[in-house]
Amino acid sequence: MASIRASPETRCLSKPLTRSSGYSARVCHGKRLTARKLRSRDSTFSGTGSLPVNRSRIQRLTVSRTIKAESTEISTTGEIPIDISFVSHKESEYTEITVKAGNRPGVLSAVTSTLKDLGIMVERAEVMTEGELVCDKFYVTDKDGRQIKDTEDISYITVCLETVVGDPSGRSSTLRVRSTSFSPDKERSEFLYNLMDKSIKNDVLSIQESIVNHVEYTIARSRYSFDDFEAYQATAYSVRDRLIESWNDTQTFFRQKDPKRVYYLSMEFLTGRTLLNSLYNLGVKDAYNRALTELGYDLEALVIKERDAALGNGGLGRLAACFLDSMATLSLPAWGYGIRYQYGMFRQSMSDGFQREAPDYWLTFGNPWEIIRPNVTYPVKFYGHVSVQEKDGKTEFKWVPGEQVEAVAYDNPIPGWNTNNVNNLRLWSAKPMREFDLESFHTGDYVSAILSKQRAETLSAVLYPDDRTYQGKELRLKQQHFLVSATLQDILRRYKRDHTTFDEFPNKVALQLNDTHPVIGIPELMRLLIDEQGLGWTDSWDITTKVYAFTNHTVLPEALEKWPVDLVEKLLPRHMQIIYDINWRFLQELRGRFGEDYARMARMSIIEEGDYKTVRMAHLALVCCHTVNGVAAIHSELIKTTIFKEFYDIMPQKFQNKTNGVTQRRWLSFCNPRLGEIITEALGTDAWIGQLDLISGLREFADDEEFQAKWRAAKQANKKRLATTIHQLCGVEVSPNALFDIQVKRIHEYKRQLLNVLGVIYRYKTIKAMTAEEKKAVVPRVVAIGGKAAPGYEMAKGIIKLVNAVSDVVNADPEVGDLLKMVFLPDYNVSLAEVVVPGSDLSQHISTAGTEASGTSNMKFAMNGCLILGTMDGANVELAEEIGEQNMFIFGLTADKVPSQRAIRHTQRVDERFYEVLDMISSGYFGWADFFTPIVDAISGVQQGSDYYLLGSDFEEYLDAQERVDEIYKQQEIWTRMSILSTAGTAKFSSDRTIKEYAAEIWDVKPCKME
């Protein structure tokens, strides 16, 4: 506890600055030495204090300095002299050591740590500054509590202190950001800064001490006995310490610079495991690996103890996580905002081939990476009514809620690569405004006592509750409002801390809406500005339209989110009023432009008329946001000509394309270190980890036989790892010498996992009909499909069952053996992807052209040298441009041909092999014939509208493409060349490039790098 003394330049610490001596690591003049070693080597005990003095250490410390025995003062050219004095008063039990030196960071910590290492107890310290000088006084005793009087001991202590104070070289930690400008007590701020003016050290011994400290003091286990999970937790807390340190410095730096900040709002952040990613980004992976090895633990074994954060489902959440990584790496002042889901979407398991959903208890044993902020809470309102009153000639609206919950912040530091900046992902957890209704409980109403608590906590329990029911829809909308309301209140609070008006708000804040889920934030910001901040409609609308930008992720009209008007009126009555007002003004603009064209106004209106009214959330975003972007070139063009055509016609300046990307750090360098080392060796630098443009330099090695051999060796090692994982998850032994053919993504009809299954059935049928001699020419193949089906999506769940039914038959057939294996990978997540992606030879991205907005898994696979089998859809189009269509296996209808083909599909007889495969399913060859009937009927093409996603139309070309795959795979030199060129062509698909474009062309946000 710091107290201010009479002298304005003096601070007094009323308790010891250091912990009691024990096994601790310190760095002194570049030498690592422990207190234990100090006592055990060349120690001499002299004087009344029995002070342990390590004379050989002193010789090392002074090797580069000239010390005069008769003087305690050292002068070096250009330096302020150092003066160290000792005083022991008779009336005092302490010896006073006074250190006068130049005022530089680290003096206080250097002195206290050195005294500790020498076995000296620091009971109290006074820290004084005099311009460029520090004059620090330490009240010390020896280990037995006595004064230090022996002249030889004093001489030894003086030499050590002179060395560590006078020589700043060999520092193993960096200076921290100073924060004094926001505190009214400058002296206290200076004192607190001096206590921790250097960052945590990252030498091996310091890391070990940090880990062991957390074992004892955080986990409360004995440092002599802790298992792998406890070692993981302690390691995670140790890494988190370093993240928090940089996080605090980054936020201090941002506040000093006051840059424009971007806030990324998303219902999903599929971050995956944090430990390894943080170690790599902080540049301490090797040091931690060595530290843990010396402690008797294996880093790889600890990594797998971490549960994936269940904060997302598929590409949307993974994209958001990649963007956070790139924002931090590019040193952009940026935060992510989401919800802290207690159970995630669900944990997928298989039971008799059927998907089973269970809660994902990822938080059961806590999450060491998150930091709860009980001081950062906001009320979030629901239901109730809106009262209107006139005050000073102005109409005021007051929302009287029927229910309120409290949003509690949980922070998750996001480190960047090769930067000191650490950004933040703030997640909200819902808590009741009152923890427990004790009065109801005591009166016997036990249900009412816990009901409000349960209702509140349900809000942040599950990602994407099933919305087939009214209650499910209500919960989804409540979640979305919960996210945006807490987030906007937080952003307004942060802005108002340093600004007295909202004039600068658009110049300091950029809000990016990741899909339509957070679009309800538009009326919420209007409400906060009008009702709570007292702004008028015009000013509020001007601010709102300047800060919001919207990313669209679909081309399917049915995927555009709509909410029943009666639901919005009931749940968010004030928001419905604001939406009506926005829509009325927009329709007036349309009327002024197009006259009485009511049909056009009905199509473009935010409110959709019909059997029941709905709020079109995408239309609300289009009307309000200053920028609307697609996520791939073909997608951005399609939305201009299809779902948003009429909006594009009147506001073309709003529309942009921002092709998605993935972070090459997690998805190449970190998850595929073998390949990463080969790339670094070839390019002569690892700078490609931060500048993926450099990877195009691999093209010159594509025909190099030695380089190809290394490339194949890395792929084979990754395939062996994947084969082991498949056996662990599925119980099926597969050969790593087979071609690994992978399709992993959310299960949906338009993504056409079903086309893949039909192809496998045809391959199986063909192999069964072969002679033994013909089978010798077959390329062995392992087909793996993975992904989750939404709980309410019965067709998708049926496809999963079909995959497993076909797998059971194929894998048990001795006539086929290792020539064909098929598995379904359960509970596909980021950590599993980090094994699957590096170990794949071929990856299928075969959606019907014109249905996939972008896709990012294709980028990950291509980046790792996996060849792409796909349609010209989403980002495949741009991949073909960058990689070269000759280095991919492209098939199928193009987007412009799809509508006409749909119109005539029911009149066509497609390739006969398609019907042969359907007959095998219908006949019960794979069992469950009745269960699979709806699937067969949906794609048979017999009725108009059947086979909507045109599996039959593309089946022939799909089989032809698979034949080309087999033929080229037999020619490993050609295959390897294509693989290398695939990786070399992925420079465009770094999320760093995407974020640079967002920052420059949408957000107008500049890097704010902490040096």
Question: Which residues are catalytic, by number?
Answer: 553, 745-746, 751, 856, 860
Cα–Cα dist 846/891, whole Å? 9
Half-sphere exposure of 38 (CA within 13 A, CB side): 28
Cα–Cα dist 204/209, whole Å? 9
Cα–Cα dist 917/270, whole Å? 37
Contact residues for 202 (Cβ-Cβ < 8 A; gap 6+): 172, 173, 242, 284, 287
Task: Check if the beta carbon of residue 403 is closer than 8 Å to that of residue 515.
Answer: no
Q: Pick from 511, 506, 467, 471: which is nearest to 488 by CA?
A: 511
Cα–Cα dist 309/414, whole Å? 14
Cα–Cα dist 827/833, whole Å? 11
Task: Check if the beta carbon of residue 417 is closer than 8 Å to that of residue 665.
Answer: yes
Task: Check if the beta carbon of residue 122 is closer than 8 Å to that of residue 116.
Answer: yes
Q: Pick from 164, 175, 139, 124: which is nearest to 16 by CA?
A: 124
Calculate the alpha carbon distances from 445 to 207, 450, 452, 457 in Å.
53, 9, 13, 20
Cα–Cα dist 769/905, whole Å? 31
Cα–Cα dist 322/979, whole Å? 24
Pairing of strands 25-28, 261-265: unpaired
> Residue 573: phi, psi to the nearest 5?
-60, -40
Calculate the alpha carbon distances from 91 to 84, 88, 147 in Å.
22, 9, 11
Task: Check if the beta carbon of residue 775 is closer than 8 Å to that of residue 814.
Answer: no
Cα–Cα dist 980/700, whole Å? 10
Cα–Cα dist 1010/251, whole Å? 10
Cα–Cα dist 638/644, whole Å? 9
Q: What is the largest CA-CA distance in the chain?
A: 110
Calculate the alpha carbon distances from 415 to 273, 286, 665 in Å.
13, 17, 12
The encoded tokens of residue 1011 equal 């040096």
Cα–Cα dist 537/581, whole Å? 10
Percentages of the chain per state (helix, strand, coil), in multiples of 5: 50, 20, 35
**Edge-first strand listing for the sheet containing 820-825:** 820-825, 781-786, 739-744, 842-845, 867-870, 889-890
Span between the terminal Cα atoms of the chain, in Å? 31
Contact residues for 915 (Cβ-Cβ < 8 A; gap 6+): none
Q: What is the DSSP string of 536-573?
A: -HHHHHHHHHHHEEEE-----GGGS-EEEHHHHHHH-H
| Cα radius of gyration (the chain) | 33
